[in-house]
Amino acid sequence: MSQDQQPQIYLISPPRIDLHSFPEALARVLDSRDIACIRLALADRDEDALARAADTCRDVAIARDVAIVIDDHWLLAERLGLDGVHLTDGSRSVRAARKTLGTDAIVGAFCGTSRHDGMTAGEAGADYISFGPVGATTLGGGEQAETELFQWWSEMIELPVVAEGALTTDLVTTLAPCTDFFGVSEIWEGDDPVTALRALLAPLG
């Protein structure tokens, strides 16, 4: 990332959404700040439920000219006319997803803390790599993607990188010079995601 550029915001949905209230909340967040992309990171594995959620959120995104991708379900992404897929298994599915979705679709890969997996995913055709969690969390194995990983990546690799997972205002300050995107999911935990987003990203102005 160029040193005079600020990271863009990559908005991540909560794992469960209320189809009656979430679209309005999503719209308010999109209207409050420039958002580069929305990722549907839904825990539901029922394809009909996922399709309903994706349809609803896609309409909100399209109205604001914001790209929208979904975790893992690249066949569903193709069928529903989403912009692409975010793969949570690192580099393993990148080639298959790219072959199915074509060159114009967004294909991203979450690679945890593995520099090697990130480079492999990039070679396989990923458009961006996501590392995390960047903050302390009880989820997963307890490993964190350290600042040094993002510093190295931004200096050595041209492929855009996303910092996500347990973000804090302090981490936003620390990582802003060396990441292209912040993957933001923390704002949905309270009643006012717009205020939460503003507070989290205060270091960016």
The per-residue pLDDT for 140 is 65
d(CA 129, CA 86): 9
Whether the Cβ atoms of residue 203 and residue 174 lie closer than 8 Å to each other: no
**Encoded amino acid at 154, one letter:** S
Residue-by-residue pLDDT tens, the chain, 205 positions? 445 689 999 999 999 999 999 999 999 999 999 999 999 999 988 999 999 999 999 999 999 999 999 999 999 999 999 999 999 999 999 999 999 999 999 999 999 999 999 999 999 999 999 999 999 987 667 799 999 999 999 999 999 999 999 999 999 999 999 999 999 999 998 899 999 999 999 999 8
CA angle 113/202/87 to nearest 5° reads: 30
CA angle 204/150/66 to nearest 5° reads: 55
pTM recorded for the entire structure = 0.96
Domains identified in the chain and CATH numbers = 8-204 (3.20.20.70)
Three-class SS of 35-46: CCEEEECCCCCC
